[in-house]
Amino acid sequence: MAVALVTGAGQGIGRATALRLSVAGHRVALVGRDPAKLDAVAAELAGEALCVPADLTDAGAPDHVFGAVEREWGAVGVLVANAGTGLAAPLVETTDELWRTMLEVNLTAPFRCIRRAVPGMTAQGWGRVVVVASVVAKRGERQVAAYSASKHGVLGLVRAAADELARTGVTVNAVCPGYVDTPMTDATVATMGERLGKDPAQARALLARRQPIGRLIDPDEVAAAVLACVDNAAITGQGINVDGGTVQS
């Protein structure tokens, strides 16, 4: 089994993915900003865990994180670039700061992690990169121009990297969730409620109804798609929808 590194591992999709990777027999390095959350997830894992607190918007963070894992366990074979953030604003109220934040967290940080991971993967002739993108990597959506642009960008990065690495034994994919029942969605619910004059339960129901299945996606359902990309060498260059039928492709 491989050495796996999961970013944004302290909660939500990252936590669910780390649990699945651990059950599958992988060593799992947990990366995130909150050491206490990482420790809590590590205690849940079935096998070995390594916690590496880091802020991936720092340009030097990938070298620090990968170096720590390599010193302990060797080269990373599975990278799950899950860390992300979402902020909403009308286009004309989207500030330069909001724009930069979306690009730094959702596009530049995954790029730096992939760039750092690839040499070790190609050297061993095997590797799996999975980026957690979004359903809005495939369509535009009102109020989230910056978020949508960052996720479109990261899907383009995935496709280009997959083509470049196709004959090296390294696959590169994205999973594209809809609205998932995570703390990040809780923040979206709060913002929606304030804007629309709804209580949290009403705002959450509105989000659920945006998906044809009529409910939020469970984080473990996204994690299952991540594991499918890890297990299947013939899947590369894909953006796999986990969105309850929102985008049919």
Q: Which residues pair with 53 in a beta bridge?
A: 32
10/32 Cα distance (integer angstroms): 6
**Quick one: tokens of 107?**
């596009």
- For tokens 């986990």, the residue is 242
Q: Is 179 tagged catalytic?
A: no
Listed as own residue / partner, the contacts of 150-156 with beta carbons closer than 8 Å and 24 or more positions apart are 150/102, 150/103, 150/105, 150/106, 150/107, 151/106, 151/176, 153/103, 153/106, 153/107, 154/106, 154/107, 154/110, 154/111, 155/131, 155/239
* Given 22, 51, 56, 147, the catalytic residue: 147
List residues with catalytic annotation: 147
